[in-house]
Amino acid sequence: MNALLTEWTGPFGLAPFGEIRDADFAPAFDVALREARAAVAAIAANPEAPTFENTIAALERADGLLNRVAGVFFNLAAADSNDAREALERELAPKLSAYSSEITSNKALFARIEALWQGRAGLSLGAEAARVLELYRRSFLRSGARLEGACSDRMAAIMARLAELGTQFGQNVLADERGWHMALAEEDLEGLPDFVVATARTAGRERGLNGPALTLNRSLIVPFLQFSPRRELRRQAYEAWVARGRNGNAADNRAIVAETLKLREERARLLGYASFADYKLEPEMARTPAAVRGLLERVWAPAKARAEADAAVLEARLRADGMTGPLEPWDWRYYSEQRRRAEHDLDEAALKPYLSLDRMLEAQFDCANRLFGLEFKALDLTLYHPDARAWEVRRAGRHVAVFIGDYFARGSKRSGAWCSTFREQHRLDGDVRPVVLNVCNFARGEPTLLSYDEARTLFHEFGHALHQMLSDVTYRMISGTSVARDFVELPSQLFEHWLEVPEVLETHARHWQTGEAMPQAMLQRLLAANTYDQGFATVEFLSSALVDLAFHEGPAPADPMAVEARVLEELGMPRAIGMRHATPHFQHVFAGDGYSSGYYSYMWSEVMDADAFAAFEEAGDPFDRATAERLERFILSAGGSQEADQAYVAFRGRMPGVEPLLKGRGLLEVAG
């Protein structure tokens, strides 16, 4: 028996993870693809006149098994990979791309959709169904449904190759992360807080060493760069970190980047667009590359000015330490941490004991309860990895979702943090409730203690999870986070604001040993330092976003690394700050095209999230239920049922300007 193909009768209809074997996936995909192809062929060949039910609703149902199998496999491939799963992922990429191309190039199928679209005025569709019809037509057109002959064949070949390249890019980054470590001597632990030392010892044991080690896991390398007084070790660590994907080995991504950009340009031109950026941004809130560049450049000048002023202060500290040469990227975090301690009396090592993972989970659940009435009950289930844990989410006595959290870094997990689903919410055939997954890469500890930035990441991903859990639509096409890319970060970035609410920290930021609340003086210093080092954070983000845009605005560059260098030079990139994501490991943009031409989306959404939280402040209560109900009604539960700007205006009554973003980052006075 193949557990992926049987009926899942366990709790909440979850996948029977304990019964699934890697050998099950390939045959399950074969069966699922056959079923999906047969269903699509039957829709296209239906002799009856097209109706919404026999065409659009039928398409929503066509890939039910495929969606279920893929939901399990791709979550495991990202969070708990192994050689077998990586090999199958490479094999599946062109197969799934071919299936998608077959659908969108099916002329008979598109003719049915087009007939419905042209006759939509007489269909008496509700608003949600009308939106789904619009999105299906848009998706087919943007995938090349009107291309003929050789052009159609070429588009299918391009998409298959892009799928292969994106898969390989991500696997290469993971290979470089797995393949590097630096053994540390006991004297190399000088100056490191206990939590960094403990993490380094754990990393050494996991690598089979007799002593501590440094790895490229962000939860280890960033605090090492913050606290280690050994400049040469910081340099070696930083250079290894930024070299991922460009080490001249089998995992080097530079040729993949060049080919990807060339194929994306060809794809856009086949569809009649001047550039890939024009193509990609058309359905987003920004609409055009010019609008994106306008936002990014508006923020760049004040961010750079703040960063340069901060760099001068940090370089003076470096000189006071007797160091020669300019401030370097491997120096910034170390001297910034020293400055933060001196100017804000805020020591991250003293702060972390109050931010244990378990306490911060309680905090995010409490906020969700106070805002939306959600209740979380821990479940004892067999999941895909022992690190993962699950909760049932209920409201007013009714089941809402299953929420799974997987929080610890390990070699089988790709870096970063993300939210995904094993099952999406929809009501097409009964009330199907979602199974939502949050993944982070925190350093394991006893207990696991978070930095404030890591706690913010926890809240961020849970904001995405709320968008999935509170979804209340009929069709999977518009469920949950199926919204414009530059709108999808609004719920996640908005939820971060509740971590800054004093009463949340007063209640939940408690010492992991004593249970005592964070001292008021420390709490006030933490909140007062909220915009500390935002010049650095904004510059490293904006440089990545502007390089992404430059890659896709014009002709594909033969040498993408030369374009990266040119853009940074034209920006006057401060010497001591690196891009947040250098091109060869820029997974947002090249491990698939989800954020290609779209890394700006975080900042576009930030324009809205600052303004959205102001709605609660204007109501006089960060937990104002009337405001929370509007947020849920128009944004969190609505999915992609209307255009993103319409959804935001329905919630807020207007679109915001850039000032709330500048104020939130402490850059308003610099912008003048």
Residues 465 and 404 sit within 8 Å (Cβ to Cβ):
no
38 part of a folded domain: yes
Together in a domain, 48 and 137: yes
Tally of domains within the chain: 2
Neighbouring-strand partners of residue 47: none
Helices 601-618, 644-652: axis angle to 10 degrees equals 20
pLDDT at 415: 87
Q: Give residue 517's pLDDT.
A: 96
Do 119 and 238 lie in one domain? The reply is no
Question: 111 lies in a domain?
Answer: yes
Which residue segment(s) compose the domain that 191 sits in?
180-242
User: Is there a single domain that holds both residue 32 and residue 94?
Assistant: yes
Burial of residue 580 (CB within 10 Å: 0-12, 13-18, 19+) is: middle
Q: Give the residue numbers marked as catalytic.
A: 461
Examine the domain organization and report whether 216 and 126 are in the same domain.
Answer: no
Are 190 and 132 within one domain? no
Q: Are residues 74 and 134 in the same domain?
A: yes
Q: What is the pLDDT of residue 671?
A: 66
DSSP H or E segment with residue 419: strand 418-423
Q: Which of 142, 160, 190 is the last residue of a domain?
A: 142
Residue 648 lies in a domain: no
76: left (phi over 0), alpha (psi -120 to 50) or beta: alpha
Shared-domain flag, residues 44 and 136: yes
Q: Are residues 38 and 136 in the same domain?
A: yes
What local confidence, expressed as pLDDT, does residue 545 receive?
98
- For the chain, report the end-to-end CA distance as a whole number of angstroms: 68
Whether the pTM exceeds 0.85: the reply is yes
Neighbours of 107 (CB within 10 A): 12
The beta strand positions in 185-262, using DSSP E, are: 213-215
- Whether 393 and 400 have beta carbons less than 8 Å apart is answered as yes
* 449 inside domain: no
Same domain, 25 and 138: yes
CATH of the domain at 137: 1.20.1050.40
Domain contains 189:
yes
Domain membership of residue 513 (yes or no) is: no
Whether residues 70 and 134 fall in one domain: yes
Domain for residue 20, yes or no? yes
Q: Is residue 41 part of a domain?
A: yes
For residue 404, the model assigns a pLDDT of: 98
The per-residue pLDDT for 175 is 95
- 541-557 pLDDT, tens digit per residue, is 999 999 999 999 999 99
Peptide bond preceding 447 in cis form (omega within 30 of 0) = yes
Q: Is 441 in a helix, a strand, or coil?
A: strand
Give the pLDDT score at 275.
98
pLDDT tens-digit series, residues 2-16: 999 999 999 999 999
Residues of the chain with pLDDT under 70: 671-672
Question: Both 21 and 112 in a single domain?
Answer: yes
Q: Does 47 share its domain with 124?
A: yes
Give the domain-ending residue among 242, 259, 285. 242
